[in-house]
């Protein structure tokens, strides 16, 4: 049996523990904060014991040995190990807020005591500096992984996203379509972003305002506008042209984000339509960031 390894890395405060718990629930043997120096010997041991699925979290606390990891991942793939690298990310503003709310210290922060002479502005500045340094240290790992943006999603959403990714075959490119609202920021995990705010907006139709792009009245409203079909065709043509080269370049995931003002009507409609079309040829997942955020 071929061993499957999920490697979770990412920014401190981005939800790595939540993702690891989701994997544990899915039947993976999980190890948190494994030093990179032990990664190869740990994987070899799991292979010897006949393990099938393991999940490993590595973070910036192992900063001095992080450069070892990209080479180790390439070696695992050459040995036939199925590797799924996941990188959890969030905006700097989100990470600052999370650290402030929990009063946790960032792993790269200095260890000086905080007294009355250190004003809040200085503490925030030091935290932002630590976060940006962490981004730099983790940039190579991020480049090799599928990125999940946890900025505006709940822990339950993150767990669902992680589990859905595990359902996709490792050996094939997986296409992820994601709708979002520009007013809540562009997803940092997007490979391609399409702005559809110029399209006719069902929000201004009283009968459609409270519906979504998955509801038939909204679908009919948008389908009657030539610009909506033109936008869909342009996105479809772009992806049809570039997905094959991306697959040949050994990309495992491509995330296509479609944004409108509220993430409720136009972007949702296009994500649903694109997912149906491309699902006939590619492994396809879909997410609706704003709709999922209010789902029970």
CATH of the domain at 24: 3.40.50.300
Residues 185 and 156 in one domain: no
Of 167, 189, 220, the last residue of a domain is 167
Q: Give the count of beta carbons closer than 10 Å to the beta carbon of residue 125.
A: 11
Residues 56 and 149 in one domain: yes
Q: Is 14 annotated as a binding residue?
A: yes
Provide the CA 49 distance to its chain's centre, in angstroms.
32
pLDDT tens-place values along the chain, 296 residues long: 689 999 999 999 999 999 999 999 999 999 999 999 999 999 999 999 999 999 999 988 887 888 889 899 989 988 889 999 999 999 999 999 999 888 888 988 764 444 444 455 677 888 999 999 999 999 999 998 999 999 999 999 999 999 888 888 877 899 999 999 999 999 999 999 999 999 999 999 999 999 999 999 999 999 999 999 999 999 999 999 999 999 998 888 999 999 999 999 999 999 999 999 999 999 999 999 999 876 65
10 annotated binding-site participant: yes
Residue given tokens 């393991």 in the structure block:
54
Query: Do residues 10 and 138 share a domain?
Result: yes
In our burial notation (b when 16+ CB lie closer than 10 A, e otherwise), range 163-185 reads eebbebeeeebbbbbbbbbbeeb
60 known member of a binding site: yes
Instruction: Check if the beta carbon of residue 87 is closer than 8 Å to that of residue 147.
Output: yes
Say if residue 17 carries a ligand binding annotation: yes
96 has binding-site annotation: no
Q: Which domain holds residue 277?
A: 174-293
Q: Measure the CA–CA gap between 233 and 101, rounded to whole angstroms.
A: 44
Does the reported pTM lie above 0.75?
yes
Looking at the structure of the chain, the number of domains it has is: 2
In sequence order, the β-bridge partners of residue 148 are: 88
* Residue 220 marked in a binding site: no
Same structural domain, 16 and 152: yes
SS3 state of residue 66: coil
Do 198 and 161 lie in one domain? The reply is no
CA distance 195 to 110: 41
**Is 129 part of any known ligand binding site?**
no
Q: What is the pLDDT of residue 110?
A: 67
Kindly state whether residues 215 and 133 are assigned to the same domain.
Answer: no
235 φ/ψ sector (left φ>0, alpha ψ -120 to 50, else beta): alpha
Same domain, 209 and 287: yes
Helix pair angle (266-278, 216-223), 10° resolution: 90
My answer on whether 48 and 88 are in the same domain is yes
Does 29 lie in the same domain as 69?
Answer: yes
Same domain, 162 and 22: yes
Q: Domain boundary at 108, 134, 167, which?
A: 167
Residues 156 and 65 occupy one common structural domain: yes
Q: Which residues contact 43 (CB under 8 A, 6 or more apart)?
A: 3, 5, 54, 76, 81
DSSP-assigned letter for residue 206: T
Looking at the structure, do residues 96 and 145 belong to the same domain, yes or no?
yes
Last residue of a domain, one of 117, 137, 167: 167
On whether 11 is known to bind a ligand per the annotation, the reply is: yes
Is 74 within any annotated ligand binding site?
no
């Amino acid at each position: 049996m071929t061993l499957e390894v999920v490697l979770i890395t990412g920014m401190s405060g981005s939800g790595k523990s939540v993702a690891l718990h989701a994997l544990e629930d899915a039947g993976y043997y999980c190890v948190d904060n494994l030093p990179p120096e032990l990664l190869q010997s740990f994987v070899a041991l799991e292979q010897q014991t006949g393990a099938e699925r393991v999940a490993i979290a590595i973070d910036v606390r192992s900063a001095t040995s992080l450069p070892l990891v990209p080479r180790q991942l390439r070696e695992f793939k050459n040995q036939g190990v199925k590797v799924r690298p996941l990188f959890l990310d969030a905006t700097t503003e989100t990470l600052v807020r999370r650290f402030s709310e929990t009063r946790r210290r960032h792993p790269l922060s200095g260890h000086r005591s905080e007294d009355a002479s250190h004003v809040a502005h200085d503490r925030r500045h030091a935290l932002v500096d630590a976060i940006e340094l962490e981004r730099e240290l983790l940039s190579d790992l991020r480049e090799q992984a599928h990125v999940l943006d946890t900025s505006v999603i709940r822990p339950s959403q993150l767990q669902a996203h992680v589990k859905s990714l595990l359902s996709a075959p490792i050996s094939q490119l997986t296409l992820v379509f994601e709708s979002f609202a520009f007013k809540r920021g562009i997803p940092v995990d997007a490979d391609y972003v399409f702005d559809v705010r110029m399209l006719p907006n069902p929000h201004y139709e009283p009968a459609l305002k409270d519906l979504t792009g998955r509801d038939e009245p909204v679908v009919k409203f948008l389908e009657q506008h030539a610009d909506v079909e033109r936008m869909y065709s342009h996105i479809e043509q772009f992806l049809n042209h570039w997905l094959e080269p991306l697959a040949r370049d050994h990309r495992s995931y491509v995330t296509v984000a479609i944004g409108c003002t509220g993430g409720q009507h136009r972007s949702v409609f296009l994500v649903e339509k694109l997912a149906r079309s491309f699902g006939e040829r590619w492994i396809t997942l879909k997410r609706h960031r704003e709709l999922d955020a209010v789902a029970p």
